[in-house]
C-alpha cells in the first residue's frame, strides 16, 4: 500500500470535488411534485379573531391530521410540505407541495381537518398544479377569490 499525500486546498477545494462526485438525477427518476392549493373556511375570518392563526398553526393541524389518518409511513411517502411563505392570511389560501402519488391522500386529509387553535374550520382543495408558478397565479390571486364568492 502506498500512501498518497492529501491534496492541498489550492489544488482541490472540497466543494469542487463534491460537485464531481454527486450527479443529478435524470428527470424520469426525480420525484414528481404537485402543488395543491387550499382554502381555510370558517364562520369568521381567522385573521379577525382575537387569536391570530398563522401558516405554522395551519401546517401543524394538517400534519397532525395526516399522521393520524395516514400514519407515518404514508406521510413520509407523500412528502407533504407546506410552503409557509405562500400562505395568504387575507384570503385564507395557501399551497402544499406533495408527491404526485399522494395528491388524493392529501385531499382527504384536508377534508378531515376540523379545528385550528380550537376554532372550528374546514379546509377545501381549490386546485392542483404541477408547476408552482401556475398554482400561485391561478389559485392565490385576489381576483379568483372575489369571483368565486360572487358567483355563489
- Among residues 87, 90, 83, the alpha carbon closest in space to that of 35 is found at 83
**Is 26 part of a structural domain of the chain?**
no
The sign one gets for the Cα dihedral 95, 98, 100, 106 is negative
Q: Does pTM surpass 0.85?
A: no
CATH (domain of 88): 3.30.70.3250
pLDDT digits (tens, 9 = 90+) for 76-95: 999 999 998 999 888 889 99
- Among residues 95, 124, 121, 120, the alpha carbon closest in space to that of 109 is found at 124
pLDDT digits (tens, 9 = 90+) for 17-74: 555 678 888 988 888 999 999 999 987 765 555 556 788 999 999 999 999 999 999 9
Q: Which domain holds residue 112?
A: 32-151
Amino acid at each position: 500500500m502506498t500512501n498518497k499525500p492529501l491534496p492541498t486546498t489550492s489544488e482541490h477545494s472540497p466543494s469542487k470535488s463534491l460537485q464531481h462526485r454527486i450527479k443529478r438525477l435524470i428527470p424520469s427518476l426525480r420525484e414528481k411534485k404537485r402543488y395543491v392549493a387550499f382554502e381555510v373556511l370558517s364562520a369568521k375570518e381567522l385573521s379577525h379573531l382575537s387569536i391570530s392563526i398563522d401558516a405554522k398553526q395551519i401546517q401543524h393541524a394538517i400534519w397532525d391530521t395526516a399522521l393520524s389518518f395516514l400514519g407515518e409511513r404514508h406521510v413520509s411517502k407523500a412528502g407533504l410540505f407546506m410552503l409557509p411563505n405562500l400562505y395568504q392570511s387575507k384570503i385564507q389560501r395557501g399551497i402544499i407541495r406533495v408527491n404526485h402519488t399522494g395528491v388524493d391522500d392529501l385531499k382527504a386529509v384536508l377534508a378531515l381537518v376540523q379545528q385550528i387553535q380550537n376554532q372550528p374550520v374546514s379546509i377545501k382543495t381549490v386546485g392542483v398544479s404541477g408547476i408552482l408558478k401556475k398554482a400561485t397565479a391561478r389559485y392565490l390571486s385576489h381576483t379568483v377569490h372575489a369571483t368565486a364568492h360572487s358567483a355563489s
